[in-house]
Amino acid sequence: MDGRLVFALLSVCFATFLYRWRRTSCRWPRPPGPPGLPLIGNILPKQYPWEAIRRWGHTYGPLIRMSVLGTPALVVNSYEAAAELFEKRSSIYSQRHPMEMILLCGMDGGVLFETNPVKLRQARRLVATGVSSRELDIYRPQLRTHIAKMLEKFLHTPDKFLDHIQHLPGEIMLDIAYGYTSTGFNDPFIKEAETWIRNFAIAGSVTEYLVNWLPILSYVPQWLPGGAFKRTAALWNKQAVDFGESAFQFVVKAMTDGVSRPSVVSKAINSQDPYDRHVIVKSATQMVTGGADTSVSVIETFMLAMLLNPEVQRRAQDEIDRVVGADRLPTYSDRESLPFVEAVMREVMRWRPPVPMVPRHPTQDDVYNGYFIPKDTIVYINFWAMLHDEEKFPDHDKFDPDRWIGGGVTKDIDPFGIVFGFGRRECPGKLLAVELVFTTLANILAVFDITKARSTDGQLMTPAVAYSSGGISAPLPFKCNIKPRTERALKLLQETLACES
């Protein structure tokens, strides 16, 4: 080999070594963490990794260092550390890189994973202004109609209640994002959206795909054994692109034909301050996925909690009967007058937060509490650990809305201040989510009793509290009995439906 080439190579190696040595021999220690296996590092349990990491916190404290297949990661388990890093130091901790599987599936960019600051600002603006409190006034009647229609489905096919809940937020999000009205169960567009939502949740899971921790695997050809994930990614990529494009084109055509309805996308297309087309297409699809599965999980958790805690259900229903009366169904404007229903909603979010952890990527080296956090570490915010902190929530795994009655709710324990994230990347759909969830919960309570179902041999069945372990965690399928509470409640529902139609 040419001597100059050897010299150049040696120089590069030496410079790399020096750079790494300088960073690792930095005078600050790294945060503590569980010892890992050589090369493999730490092995995260496939089920509920956030709970395992919460328990590690008993030994290692609020910041936990891990390494998975050579990729360094840090998990923030406490509210105090999260508020400091993601709010006070948000200029360092507001970046989110797409995981490798998300990249392979073409689900990167948009509001969730844009790394270009100009496009990210556009994307945040698009969603934040699209579902601001002013815009919600426009969408409120649609929201109520969708909820009333779901209650009607509960009435006719109560055993399919999980399907009905699954469809509700997706239909609302398609309506708000694109002005699209679903034609029912077999609506092809809804099906496309649901496929995209499902694919997205799996691709973004911390434990589902090895390539998310070992990006070099993305070079494995599709046809090799072990390359199946590449075939999956190619299919999901096509589905993601097809869905984003057809949804966007639906709005463009409706606008051209003069029949478009108010929507986030039509508002963005008409904006005086123009948006990049890609930003609109990707951010709108991510709004659908960001708003759908999260809200589904919350409503399903509510059903499970009511089933398992009949006395809580009765107290919430009594409050609605007392405050709202028997002449109408509850609306969002009743929220302040229904403190126990509010406490139920708060406890649902705390007990089983739909998004247990999210990743961020510091854009520069940092030191927190005497610990060194290097720039390229993936930093996970463990919302689950914050909401299951035994010191703040005694008997933390018990569903107990009374935690929220009578005392002040400080920021460090308020689930509404935690489950939607922190700082500049906080969920931009928070207002919509809270309104959607509150209105749905209050209306279900007003119209229906939720009780245990019976098995074929007549025994009452108590469902297990078992959840999926993807990026968004939701109850595994369970059965329950849904019956209208009174003739009066039924009549009110029918009147509401007639009025909305």
Report 312-371 residues binding ligand HEM (CB under 6 A): 354-355, 358
What number of CA atoms fall less than 13 Å from residue 77's CA on the CB side?
25
* Contact code string over 21-50 relative to ligand HEM, x by CB under 6 A: ------------------------------
Residue 411, classed as helix, strand or coil, is coil
Instruction: Specify the stretch interacting with ligand HEM by CB under 6 A; choose among 61-69, 367-375, 425-433, 478-486.
Output: 425-433
Of 203 and 432, nearer to ligand HEM (C-beta) is 432
CB of 84 to ligand HEM, least distance (A): 14
- Give the integer Cα–Cα distance in Å for 428 and 126: 10
CB of 40 to ligand HEM, least distance (A): 28
Report 217-246 residues binding ligand HEM (CB under 6 A): none
For residue 371, which phi and psi values (nearest 5 degrees)? -110, 140
Q: Are 381 and 320 in contact (CB under 8 A)?
A: no
- How many residues sit close enough to ligand HEM to count as binding (CB under 6 A)? 28
Which residues on neighbouring strands pair with residue 360, listed in sequence order?
Answer: 379
Q: Does 426 bind ligand HEM (CB under 6 A)?
A: yes
- Give the integer Cα–Cα distance in Å for 301 and 165: 11
For residue 72, which phi and psi values (nearest 5 degrees)? -75, 140
Instruction: Specify the stretch interacting with ligand HEM by CB under 6 A; choose among 207-215, 265-273, 423-431, 483-491.
Output: 423-431
Least Cα distance to 165 among 298, 285, 286 occurs for: 298
Burial degree of 419 (CB within 10 A; 0-12, 13-18, 19+): buried
Q: Does 422 bind ligand HEM (CB under 6 A)?
A: yes
Of 41 and 470, nearer to ligand HEM (C-beta) is 470
- Give the integer Cα–Cα distance in Å for 373 and 74: 8
CB of 293 to ligand HEM, least distance (A): 9
Q: Does 79 bind ligand HEM (CB under 6 A)?
A: no
Q: Does 265 bind ligand HEM (CB under 6 A)?
A: no
Which amino acid, one-letter code, is at 244?
G
Q: Does 54 bind ligand HEM (CB under 6 A)?
A: no
Q: Does 102 bind ligand HEM (CB under 6 A)?
A: no
Q: Does 112 bind ligand HEM (CB under 6 A)?
A: yes
Task: List the one residue from 31, 417, 429, 471 that touches ligand HEM (CB under 6 A).
Answer: 429
The continuous run of DSSP H or E covering 493 comes out as helix 487-500
Task: List the one residue from 433, 441, 446, 489 that touches ligand HEM (CB under 6 A).
Answer: 433
What is the maximum alpha-carbon separation in the chain? 92
Q: Does 65 bind ligand HEM (CB under 6 A)?
A: no
Tokens of 38: 């050589």
What number of CA atoms fall less than 13 Å from residue 114's CA on the CB side?
21
* Residue 499 labelled as part of a binding site: no
CA angle in degrees (0–180, nearest 5) for 233-235-237: 65
* Contact code string over 391-420 relative to ligand HEM, x by CB under 6 A: ----------------------------xx
Q: Are 75 and 384 in contact (CB under 8 A)?
A: no
Q: Are 280 and 265 in contact (CB under 8 A)?
A: yes
Tokens of 461: 């069945």
Task: List the one residue from 124, 261, 278, 396 that touches ligand HEM (CB under 6 A).
Answer: 124
Instruction: Specify the stretch interacting with ligand HEM by CB under 6 A; choose among 50-58, 180-188, 208-216, 430-438.
Output: 430-438
- Give the integer Cα–Cα distance in Å for 22 and 26: 6
* Contact code string over 278-307 relative to ligand HEM, x by CB under 6 A: --------xx--xx--xx--x---------
Task: List the one residue from 421, 470, 471, 475 that touches ligand HEM (CB under 6 A).
Answer: 421
Q: Does 166 bind ligand HEM (CB under 6 A)?
A: no
Residue that is written with structure tokens 């567009």 in the block: 189
- Give the integer Cα–Cα distance in Å for 462 and 439: 27
How many residues comprise the chain?
A: 501
Q: Are 81 and 368 in contact (CB under 8 A)?
A: yes
CB of 378 to ligand HEM, least distance (A): 13
Of 182 and 286, nearer to ligand HEM (C-beta) is 286
Residues in the annotated binding site for heme: 427
Residues near ligand HEM, by CB under 6 A: 96, 111-112, 124, 127, 131, 286-287, 290-291, 294-295, 298, 354-355, 358, 419-422, 425-429, 432-433, 437
